[in-house]
Amino acid sequence: MRKAILLIALIIAGAFTYAANDETPQKQSNKEESKDSGVIKMNKEMFVNNVFDYQTAKEWKYKGNKPAIIDLYADWCGPCRMVSPIMEGLAKEYENQVTFYKVNVDKEQELASLFNATSIPLLVFIPMDGQPQLFRGAADKPTYKKVIDEFLLKKKEVKK
């Protein structure tokens, strides 16, 4: 009898624990979007309003008020998952200097095709003036910092 009561108590406790930790995909995505990583999830509407209206403009003209980086990624992509925390760290480091966006190529196929994202990760570095530059594949943080400093922020390399 004791064993039966103990077993029932364990089952009930397990059910409550499971219910408390249950996160459906909807709950997970809301949690992820509310996380303060400094990287903004971008969709087509946001791109057209904040970056470039490719539907009406004939020539590239960036709309932002500071340089930007767009990380085109997919959830299933291993190298993309390696780049993500690097971008989050850089977003905090360059918080008032560069805007960081991320675009899920599976959900925003039109934006992916706009940049000919045939392989990912694909980073788009957008300076205030001039054409964006594409960076294909994953790299380390110092490599991204160098591109940000020299291409986006136009900082001269300090000689040691």
Q: What is the CATH number of the domain that holds 92?
A: 3.40.30.10
Q: Are 100 and 74 found together in one domain?
A: yes
Q: Are 85 and 112 found together in one domain?
A: yes
Sheet architecture: strand order including 68-73: 39-41, 99-104, 68-73, 122-126, 133-136
Q: Are 23 and 52 found together in one domain?
A: no
Distance CA 51, CA 63 (A): 5
Residue-range definition of the domain harbouring residue 72: 37-152
Distance CA 46, CA 52 (A): 9
State yes or no: is 77 an active-site residue: yes
| pTM exceeds cut of 0.85 | no
> Per the residue annotation, which of 51, 68, 80, 91 is the catalytic one?
80
Q: Are 23 and 63 found together in one domain?
A: no
Weakly modelled stretches of the chain, pLDDT under 50? 4, 6-7, 9-10, 13-35
> Per the residue annotation, which of 70, 77, 91, 105 is the catalytic one?
77
pLDDT at 8: 52
Q: Are 70 and 16 found together in one domain?
A: no
> By the 8 A CB rule, do 69 and 126 touch?
yes
Q: Are 99 and 131 found together in one domain?
A: yes
pLDDT at 156: 72
- Which structure tokens are listed for 90? 């850089």
pLDDT at 155: 84
State yes or no: is 119 an active-site residue: no
